């Protein structure tokens, strides 16, 4: 499975962001454990944060002027937020950039991490660190679908429930791209699912 992940992410051509606007940049790390059944590492952001407080997210944040590139941003933020040493991460490649509702262009980078890391959450930013088997998302076990209209296009974004955690929004969009890439899951983001009910 990890060999397939390496092959597919390295051969992936991320979707280009088609807009004539320029946005401030950010990056997140999508950490995948090196294990027979790979898991994706996620965070629950502290509830008091000004943006995305109380939401599930990948470790990451805004690009600093000193950052060499966005990979450096993702690794620096992962170390600051969850105590993940950059030297333990094998960055494989990017997924497609997305724009947050706060007008930030976010680029995700998939990276392999050991499955024995003891994460140290930065209490000022992160309430908890947890992991979910990648296979969990394969059959698209969504609770609900959120329709988001942005840049002239409708997105039908799944919301997943894993234990006490709700995984939705940009994080879900990134996970769908990864799961489609790895498993050929065919989860559509631009067409409503068969059970979608439009509420007017």
For every one of its 200 residues, what pLDDT tens digit does the chain have, with 9 covering 90 and above? Answer: 889 999 999 999 998 877 667 899 999 999 999 999 999 999 999 886 555 567 999 999 999 999 999 999 999 999 999 999 999 999 999 999 998 888 899 999 999 999 999 999 998 999 999 999 999 999 999 999 999 887 778 899 999 999 999 999 999 999 999 999 999 999 999 998 887 766 65
**Angstrom distance (rounded) from CA 45 to CA 28:** 13
**Angstrom distance (rounded) from CA 21 to CA 149:** 17
**Residue 86 DSSP code:** G
List the one residue out of 155, 14, 16, 1 whose CA is nearest residue 93.
14
Model-level pTM?
A: 0.94
List the one residue out of 3, 33, 24 whose CA is nearest residue 110.
33
Task: Identify whether the C-beta of residue 67 lies closer than 8 Å to the C-beta of residue 56.
Answer: no
């Amino acid at each position: 499975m990890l060999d397939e992940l390496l092959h597919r992410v390295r051969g992936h051509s991320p979707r280009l962001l088609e807009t004539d606007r320029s946005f401030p940049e950010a990056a997140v790390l999508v950490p995948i454990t090196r294990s027979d059944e790979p898991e994706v590492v996620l965070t629950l952001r502290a509830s008091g944060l000004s943006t995305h407080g109380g939401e599930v997210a990948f470790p990451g944040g805004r690009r600093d002027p000193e950052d060499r590139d966005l990979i450096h941003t993702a690794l620096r933020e992962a170390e600051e937020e969850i105590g993940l040493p950059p030297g333990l991460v094998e960055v494989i490649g990017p997924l497609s950039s997305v724009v947050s509702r706060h007008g930030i262009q976010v680029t995700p980078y998939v990276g392999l991490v050991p499955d024995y890391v003891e994460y140290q959450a930065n209490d000022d930013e992160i309430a908890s660190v947890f992991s979910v088997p990648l296979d969990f998302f394969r059959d698209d076990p969504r609770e609900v679908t959120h329709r988001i209209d942005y840049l002239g296009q409708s997105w039908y974004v799944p919301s997943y429930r894993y234990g006490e955690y709700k995984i939705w929004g940009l994080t879900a969009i990134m996970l769908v791209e990864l799961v489609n890439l790895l498993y050929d899951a065919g989860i559509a983001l631009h067409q409503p699912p068969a059970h979608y009910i439009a509420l007017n």
